[in-house]
Structure 1
Amino acid sequence: MAEDEEQEVVVVRVAQGALKGRRVPFRAGKGRAFFSFRGVPYARPPIGPLRFQVAQPPDPWDGVREALEDGPPCPQVEKIFKVPYRGDEDCLYLNVYTPKAPNQGEELKIPVMVWIHGGAFENGSAEMDMYGPEYLVGAGVVIVCINYRLGVLGFLSLEDGSHSENLGLKDQVAALRWVKDNIAYFGGDPNNVTIFGESAGGASVNYHMLSPMSRGLFHKAIMQSGCALNPWATATKPRELAFALAKDLGCYATSSEDVLNFLRNISARQLIDTYDKIKKQQSGMRRWRFGPVPETNARPNDQIFLPTSPKALLENGNFHSVPCIIGITSQEGIISLQVNGILKNPALLRNIDDRLDPLIPQDVGVDNNQCIIREKIKEFYFGNSSNGESAMVQYVNYASDVHFTRGIDRTVNLLAANATPVFYYHFSFSGKMNIFKNWAQATKLTGAAHLDDVGYLFTSKFFNVPEVNSGSSEWITRERMVKLWTNFAKTGNPTPAPENNLNIYWPCLSSTKKVFLDINTKLSIGRDLYKERVEFWNNL
């Protein structure tokens, strides 16, 4: 890697050709800087005949390719943060951020962390304004942020082997292969790669643990507020949805091949907008959605990412047993208050039955026992409090457990039963850098919402994460989070030795000792997280 005379531009040569990146000063100054390479192609553009196909290796280029700006996000509509349609099908790009510019041939072997963004497998991107790397790179790791195909373009499934499925997850595999082949050119160690993500990104990390395609591409895993057993992390009636999508766009074909050919020739904008329209006509856990699926009907020559259900793979111990960090925020369900309009209109909770039914998971026998299940849930969570502030708190607990706690607790138990090193955490800190809670103006509620922990790992103009004063509780929490996460990436242990700003030992969870780290103003060790709530669902 060579720097020009202005010390602003850096050039690195990867397998496909030369890349021009940029030296980026740390905002804290003191002469420190990191090096960014943005918009790096890790696959051929999945356009034209490559739509609905597995990502192909990237083409080489001549000369020096500029890697100074983000690649476009994949096509999407983002409703929660009110972002209209954006993106481009030519979106399979990644960003690399490294703390040191190595000379050509120099092996620095810096630990690598690959970030997989969240967004329900329907939105999100690797953009630097969304996930700025400064805190993590400053702690001595290489950061890679990746795009992957979303929604219908990334997760179309006709469930009959007519085409390759789980394309968005296979995109992630292609990105991890690119990292394995090229990250040494940026000073990274291809034999010390940690994959980490939040929400759908956390679930993606879990899926890579289960996938034969991902074997050998990573060595540690961090799952934040997401796992493969969460109810939103798998597709619901994707075949029916694909045919409904085609019909809404004017195709009344009855064969998978005809529907596939039709959808291949519709503009990305029309596909995304029509999918969004169909989603609006449905609600809750019964909403049809595209997402990961078991590839039980794959064609003989297909690359299979997910051979059977996540539950079966976990129960049979058929996964990559790598050290893991996994956890949740204390008030994940605040996001459901916002999405369902309850934050602005708490009176919606007066008829609590209307709010319970859409969230009841499909695997608890609701078709036959809807009323019985609903009454048990209502009694356990709400008792006699069916309105007011108490009802809002209990609704948050209910939504948290349905969407996150239940699946993550099951995952933790199954991982630990296979002797996988598991570090379990609970993020409960509330401060100015809590992304979702501050955006939703839900600061009167205690604890941390879904997405809130991400503000203590990344800078983010998109999420309006503010700068904070050195020594503030937010600053201390950020320092702790970054230290824990990067310690783990470097060593496989978040607390390998006493640290001044940690001053705690975070033990592994075991099948007989369910310990967790609570991340709040102080760090503390607890046991049996949400025991009564977890047992309620286990016994339902």
Structure 2
Amino acid sequence: MRPPPLARHSCACALIRFVVASVVFVGLVEESGAGASLLVHKYSTRVVRTKYGPLRGVMIHIHPPVEAFLGVPYATPPIGSLRYMPPVTPSTWRNTRLADRFGAVCPQRPPDIGNRSEALLEYPKGRLLYLEKLLPLLANQSEDCLYLNLYVPRTATGDEEPAPLPCVVYVHGESYEWNSGNPYDGTVLASSGRVIVVTINFRLGVLGFLKTGTKGSAQGNFGLMDLVAGLHWLRENLPAFGGDPERVTLMGHGTGAALVNFIAVSPVAKELLHRVILLSGSGLSPWALQRDPLLVKRTVAKHTGCHGDLHDDDLAPCLRLKQLNQLLNVKVEAPRFLPGFAPFIDGTILLNPATTPPTSSSSTVATSAGFELADFPKRDLLFGLASTESYLDLNAQDLEFGFNETKRDRVLRTYVRNSYYYHLNEIFSTLKNEYTDWEKPTQNPLSVRDATLDVLSDGHTASPLIRVGYLHSLSGGKTFFLHFQHHSGERDLPMRTGSVRGEDLPYVLGLPLIGGGPFFPHNYSHTDAAVSKTLIHYISNFIRKGDPNGAVPNASASEAKSGPLHTLHDEGIGGGPSATPYWDTYDTINQFYLELGNRPERRDHYRGHKMSLWLNLIPQLHRPGEGGDDISMRHHHFQEEDDQYYDGSVRPQTKDMPPVAHVIPPPHSTATSVRAAPATTAQTPPPPKSDTALQATTTECPPNQTLPTIIKNTNSNNLLRKLASSHYQSYTTALTVTIAVGCFLLLLNVLIFAGIYHQRDRGKSKQKQKEELAEAGSCSSGSGEAYYNKSYNLQRAGSFERKPTHSEYDKRTLADLQMTELPLQEFNSSPPPAKRPAAESSSKTYPPDVTSDAEALSNVVSSPSIPEPPPPPKNQPPAQGYHHQHHHQQQQQQQQVGILRPHGAPTTPGTMKKRVQIQEISV
């Protein structure tokens, strides 16, 4: 049955409109910045029915193909009465909506690069080229901007994936005041990684991060609220696109990473995300949080004429009546290294911790302010760094030619003054000393430049991000650390090894696999493509299962080998993803991380010495000290106030204590008690009990604290005293135990020497008998007897009145040996000297005589190995009677532990008695 003419005419018109729209859309996508290599051939054949209405996307010609849904509304446009209001769910629609073009960019004021010469005085040359390509993509602006873009992978035949796919939401960075999610194409990451990629727009600057409400209200942080609303929309509608709402990963770069960090710990997003990826940023960076939102509110009120009480009045009703351009012209002059419009603690999205950290440790790593930003142990974390995160802090001239130490000092002084409150001079001197190459007599301008880049990179990005990873692992979360070191062959950047900030982003998106994107270079090499493929392999595995290791599933078993991604599906660094090294988790002990250069390698303790400085020493210096309010803030301030000492704007130094606390007191019981180590060991051990113990286990101990927390007023001066000295209590306990043990050992030595001298005193009364015994042991009064008497008198320091008889000599010698040896075995205070080999003893020569009493005494007391006395002259035969009666004693002497005589040497009374005295002295 044929349809009526009117119906046939309507179908024909619809078909014509569909074809025309398809042709027009190709040009729209290319002009919007989706990339010239990603050509759209047709609309998708399926209609996705979301909760708010049906959607039809477009198919992107890539292999495997990707279905893109561009400009999907996730909230009602925040215009009119909804300006400066939390986002509202979108309105529903009945007809199929074509998701074929990007939504408008949120209102913003991008950087002014119209005058290239002036721009080079502020930006590096490579940064300027990047902005020249990016800013044209941000021209289409409107307050109706709450849209997201979805990139859904399809099989090689264009069918839907049989199993639900994981999803990653990318939060753009660059600034809290400008940029958009539209320029970041997720096509390659979706196709190669087999994950759904989402980019999102949210309110920025004066519209997104202004505290408009009263002091106690949560009115503000609308940009964060937009991101939470987008996650709500995805949780409701991901199943319609073939996604799994239980596997949502939030990934951010730069300021986007800080926003992701805030949402990860927010109580309003507990069920909305499951994994977190932080690239080159965290919520602990000094540029991540606005510490004084009322100052920004005052600036906006001054420029817009919306006057009123800053604490009690709401600016929103007045600001809704202002023109958009008037709001965008408001410029907040923020101190250098600190943000202007930025997220702040509002009590709803971002909470101010009111309790002590949930840990029994008293170490600074777990008790410093900001510990709550790593309190998401049930969500897996992957964080990454570039080699130089401070590339944007210097201009083109400084990067190309370097600068002297005077400017270095101005930059460091500016950073320290704007980032810290206490002991600024000590922190400044510590940083300058640590980052100076003292092995060089003169500092080269380029080496000074490199040192300045390192100190800024480590301070405001690397160490805060590593601290988040450290605390996340400490709390039991699964953590992975990436150092992206690879750099492309052609780049207009300073001649330094390693990567710079933002250089990892195109590799994450997979742009080297297709020759580049709208605002990235188009001259990637095969090595660059292989690095990108390997990175996508790791990240997509983490998004899928929380572990970057393993194989990435193909689109289908019958996938055809064609298209732009064909040559790299089975290739990677060193032979493909299957040949990539195992990526170990980051823990507090081993601190393993993956260094991705031309070839990925596993390393540990990233910049260990430098990170120990930032995460251990600097926080200990950054304390108010004893006395609290009793100490004037002038003690902590810089004495230099003129502009010549700084390189950029700085915040004023006040005489009042700042309204922030940098150390949260641990529980009193844990600070004064010493606990034994648990019997069982876990993968992540509890934090050490003191800063000293923490240094022994890791280089990343007490971290840098930048997140402010409001302290409560108290009338007790002991509170701040306890805050400043609590970290020394465990050290005092250990010192007390050490002193007690030392005193005990000293008393034991006194008792030992008292026993020895008691035995010697008892032997003094029998010295006269021993002298007589010595004379009876020799045949004549020759040189042997004289030598013995002289040596013996030096050691015993006594005189003899009479000589013992031969029988008395036998009894006294045995008794003396017993009295000398038994106490040694009983006290056992020091190990006996080792036996000398027979060969060594036989070849040793001895002096013929002792020249002086002083020399002999020094040989006996201070020499480590006392030589044996020389044997009697050859023309004097040994005493036969003595040898006959004391042969048993000679054998016993040879078996004694100590200095032994040479094998076969004749035994004389002098040598025997000298051995006895040597054993006494050695004790």
TM-score in terms of structure 1 length: 0.87
The equivalent of 1:68 in structure 2 is 100
Structure 1 pair 32/288, CA: closer, same or farther in 2 (3 Å)?
Answer: closer
Structure 1: which 5+ runs fail to align?
297-303
CA contact (8 A) 1:34 1:98 kept: yes
Structure in which a larger fraction of residues adopt helix: 2
Distance 1:43 1:224 in 2: 27
TM-superposed deviation, 1:465? 3.1
Structure 1 counterpart of 2:534, from 466, 471, 480: 480
- Residue type of the partner of 2:320? R
The equivalent of 1:9 in structure 2 is 43
- Residue type of the partner of 2:590? K
The equivalent of 2:83 in structure 1 is 51
Which runs of structure 2 are paired with 1:382-397 in the superposition (5 Å)? 382-383=436-437, 388-397=445-454
TM-superposed deviation, 1:371? 3.1
Distance 1:356 1:100 in 2: 52
The equivalent of 1:530 in structure 2 is 607
Distance 2:159 2:536 in 1: 29
- Residue type of the partner of 1:412? G
Q: Does 2:389 correspond to 1:332? A: yes
The equivalent of 1:450 in structure 2 is 501
- What does the per-residue CA deviation read over 1:259-294, in whole Å, with 9 as the maximum and x for residues that have no partner? 33322322333222322xx33xx4313x56222222
- Aligned to 2:413, what secondary structure does the other structure show? helix
TM-superposed deviation, 1:445? 2.2
Distance 2:335 2:373 in 1: 33
- Aligned to 1:324, what secondary structure does the other structure show? strand
- Residue type of the partner of 1:539? L
The equivalent of 1:399 in structure 2 is 456
- Residue type of the partner of 1:116? V
Structure 1 pair 343/169, CA: closer, same or farther in 2 (3 Å)?
Answer: same
The equivalent of 1:294 in structure 2 is 345
Which runs of structure 2 are paired with 1:248-259 in the superposition (5 Å)? 248-255=303-310, 256-257=312-313, 259=315
Q: Does 2:156 correspond to 1:99? A: no
Q: Does 2:285 correspond to 1:230? A: yes
- Residue type of the partner of 2:88? Q
The equivalent of 1:300 in structure 2 is none
- What does the per-residue CA deviation read over 1:468-526, in whole Å, with 9 as the maximum and x for residues that have no partner? 35xx2101110111101001111211013698334211111112121111011111111
TM-superposed deviation, 1:448? 0.6
Structure 1 pair 249/113, CA: closer, same or farther in 2 (3 Å)?
Answer: same
Q: Does 2:316 correspond to 1:260? A: yes
CA RMSD of aligned residues (A): 2.9
CA contact (8 A) 1:202 1:223 kept: yes
CA contact (8 A) 1:236 1:290 kept: no
TM-superposed deviation, 1:387? 5.0
Structure 1 pair 289/62, CA: closer, same or farther in 2 (3 Å)?
Answer: same
Q: Does 2:269 correspond to 1:214? A: yes
Structure 1 pair 419/288, CA: closer, same or farther in 2 (3 Å)?
Answer: closer
CA contact (8 A) 1:117 1:125 kept: yes
Distance 1:519 1:138 in 2: 19
TM-superposed deviation, 1:429? 0.6
- Residue type of the partner of 1:359? Y
TM-superposed deviation, 1:228? 0.9
- Aligned to 1:479, what secondary structure does the other structure show? helix
The equivalent of 1:188 in structure 2 is 243
Distance 1:258 1:327 in 2: 40
Structure in which a larger fraction of residues adopt strand: 1
CA contact (8 A) 2:531 2:597 kept: yes
TM-superposed deviation, 1:181? 0.7
Structure 2: which 5+ runs fail to align?
1-14, 23-40, 112-126, 358-367, 553-574, 619-923
- Aligned to 1:78, what secondary structure does the other structure show? coil
- Residue type of the partner of 1:413? Y
Q: Which moved more, 1:480-489 or 1:529-538?
A: 529-538
Structure 1 counterpart of 2:335, from 249, 274, 283: 283
Structure with larger RCO (C-alpha < 8 A, sep 6+):
1
Q: Which moved more, 1:507-516 or 1:418-427?
A: 507-516
- Aligned to 1:114, what secondary structure does the other structure show? strand
- Residue type of the partner of 2:224? L
Structure 2 counterpart of 1:115, from 149, 170, 173: 170
TM-superposed deviation, 1:346? 3.0
The equivalent of 2:71 in structure 1 is 39
The equivalent of 2:617 in structure 1 is 539
CA contact (8 A) 1:52 1:163 kept: no
Distance 1:349 1:124 in 2: 35
Distance 1:350 1:305 in 2: 43
Distance 1:415 1:463 in 2: 35
TM-superposed deviation, 1:62? 2.6
Structure 1 pair 316/140, CA: closer, same or farther in 2 (3 Å)?
Answer: closer
TM-score in terms of structure 2 length: 0.52
CA contact (8 A) 2:335 2:418 kept: no
The equivalent of 1:301 in structure 2 is none
- What does the per-residue CA deviation read over 1:303-355, in whole Å, with 9 as the maximum and x for residues that have no partner? x21122597573597435211111211111112124x8622563476422221
Distance 1:454 1:365 in 2: 34
CA contact (8 A) 1:75 1:269 kept: no
- Aligned to 1:221, what secondary structure does the other structure show? strand
- What does the per-residue CA deviation read over 1:77-116, in whole Å, with 9 as the maximum and x for residues that have no partner? 2326264884221111000010128999996301111111
Q: Identity, % of aligned pairs? A: 28
Distance 1:104 1:227 in 2: 39
The equivalent of 1:419 in structure 2 is 476
TM-superposed deviation, 1:233? 0.9
TM-superposed deviation, 1:361? 6.6
CA contact (8 A) 1:107 1:184 kept: no
The equivalent of 2:402 in structure 1 is 346
Structure 2 counterpart of 1:500, from 555, 576, 584: 576
Q: Does 2:210 correspond to 1:156? A: yes
Distance 1:104 1:405 in 2: 43
CA contact (8 A) 1:198 1:224 kept: yes
The number of residues matched between the two structures is 510
CA contact (8 A) 1:350 1:387 kept: no
Distance 2:316 2:254 in 1: 29
Distance 1:105 1:495 in 2: 26
CA contact (8 A) 1:42 1:57 kept: yes
Structure 1 pair 361/504, CA: closer, same or farther in 2 (3 Å)?
Answer: farther
Distance 2:339 2:505 in 1: 28
The equivalent of 2:411 in structure 1 is 355
Distance 1:427 1:318 in 2: 25
Which has the greater radius of gyration? 2
TM-superposed deviation, 1:211? 0.7
CA contact (8 A) 1:349 1:355 kept: no
Structure 1 pair 478/249, CA: closer, same or farther in 2 (3 Å)?
Answer: same
